[in-house]
Amino acid sequence: MNMVLANTDAEAVVEPQSGGRLASLRVAGHDLLVPRASAPMQWGCYPMVPWAGRTRGGQFDWGGSKWSLPINMPPHAIHGTVFDRPWTGVGPHTLACNLGPEWPWPGEVRSEFGLESNALSWRLEVRATDAPFPAVVGWHPWFRRVLGTMGPGQLRFEAERMHLRDAQGIPSGEFIVPPEGPWDDCFEGLNGPPEIRWPEGISLRVSSSCRHWVVYDEPQHAICIEPQSGPPNALNTPSVEVVRPERPLVHSMRIQWTIGTQHH
C-alpha cells in the first residue's frame, strides 16, 4: 500500500514496492518528478544505499579483503541494492528494507518522511546487524524540466570545486573549477542550495546533511540533483563512513518549495 502525505498545496506519494521511492510530489497541481518509467533508475526519487553512484568495476577493498558487487551498469555497480527492492512499513511515515544478498554484510536501512507546509523531509538511517561495514547514502530525484506549457525550468547551481572524472567516469581524486554545464558530475563546496525555478511560478531548493552533490542535467526531460554522503566510488576511498552495530549512519534531505509571489 502506498504512503500518502498531503496538505493544502502539496501531495507526496511513496511507493514501498518500487524501491521505497517518492513516486510523485505534486505542488500547486504540478507533479515535480518524472513519472514511472520502465527502468527503475530513471523516475521519481529513490534512495541510494549502501552506496551511491558508481563503484569502479563493482569491486572495493575493506578489512583486508576484496568484495564484489553486481554489475548493473557495465562496467560498474551503481546506486546500491535497495532502489528496486520492496520495502516494508514499520511506522506511520517510516519504511525499512534489508540490504539484500548482494551486499556482503547483514544490515538494513530505515527511511522516514515528513511533510511540512512548504517542504518534504526525508531521513535515511543505515544499520549494521552484527559487523561494521562501509556505506554511502544518497537520493536520486528526477525533477521534470518542463511542468506545463510555459517552457523549461532553470537550474541555479554554484560550487567551488568539481571532481575530475577519468575515462571510466569515476572521480580521479583531483578537483577542478567547475566548467559550464550540462553536467554528470560530483561537486563540493556549494555556494547555497541548488534551486530550480519554473515559469509556472514554482521553485524548489534542495538541502541536505550530505556535502557531496551530483548534478545530472544532460537529459532533455529532467534535472537530477543528488545529495550523497560520499562521491562516486566512495567505497574505494579512505574517507568512507563506517556503519557499526552501535552507531548507524544517518543523513537527511529536504526539498523546499515556493509558489507564485513567494519567490525568493
The pTM of the whole model exceeds 0.75: yes
Q: What is the mean pLDDT of residues 2-12?
A: 96
- Residue with more model confidence, 264 or 109: 109
- Which is it for strands 119-128 and 107-115: parallel, antiparallel or unpaired? antiparallel
Is the pLDDT at 264 greater than 80? The verdict is: no
CATH number for the domain spanning 17: value is: 2.70.98.10
Q: Which residues of 206-222 are buried (b: 16+ CB within 10 A; e: fewer)?
A: bbbebebbbbbbeeeeb
Beta bridge partners of 14: 3, 22
Give the separation between CA 67 and CA 147, rounded to whole angstroms. Answer: 43
Q: Smallest Cα–Cα separation from 126: which of 247, 23, 37, 33?
A: 247
Q: How far is CA 121 from CA 196, 243, 255, in A?
A: 17, 22, 7
- For residue 242, give every residue at least 6 positions away whose Cβ sits within 8 Å of its Cβ, in sequence order, or none: 132, 133, 134, 135, 249
Which set of grid coordinates corresponds to residue 130?
552484527
User: Under a CB-based contact definition with an 8 Å cutoff, are residues 62 and 69 in contact?
Assistant: no
User: Under a CB-based contact definition with an 8 Å cutoff, are residues 58 and 70 in contact?
Assistant: yes
DSSP classification of residue 149: S
Give the separation between CA 205 and CA 217, rounded to whole angstroms. Answer: 16
**Percent of the chain beyond pLDDT 90?**
96
- For residue 1, give every residue at least 6 positions away whose Cβ sits within 8 Å of its Cβ, in sequence order, or none: 16, 89
Number of domains forming the structure of the chain: 1
Give the separation between CA 144 and CA 151, rounded to whole angstroms. Answer: 11
**Percent of the chain beyond pLDDT 70?**
98
pLDDT tens-digit series, residues 244-261: 999 999 999 999 999 985
Is the pLDDT at 262 greater than 70? The verdict is: no
pLDDT tens-digit series, residues 77-120: 999 999 999 999 999 999 999 999 999 999 999 999 999 999 99
| pLDDT score for 261 | 58
User: Under a CB-based contact definition with an 8 Å cutoff, are residues 62 and 53 in contact?
Assistant: no
The 3-class secondary structure across 84-132, one letter per residue, is CCCCEEEECCEEEEECCCCCCCCEEEEEEEEECCCEEEEEEEEEECCCC
Q: What is the mean pLDDT of residues 10-27?
A: 98
Domain that holds residue 116: 3-262
On average, the pLDDT of the chain sits at 96
The torsion angles phi and psi of 2, rounded to 5 degrees, stand at -70, 155
Q: Given pLDDT bands bounded at 50, 70 and 90, which one contains residue 130? A: very high
Residue 252's CB is within 10 A of a number of other CB atoms, namely: 18
pLDDT tens-digit series, residues 158-209: 999 999 999 999 999 999 999 999 999 999 999 999 999 999 999 999 999 9
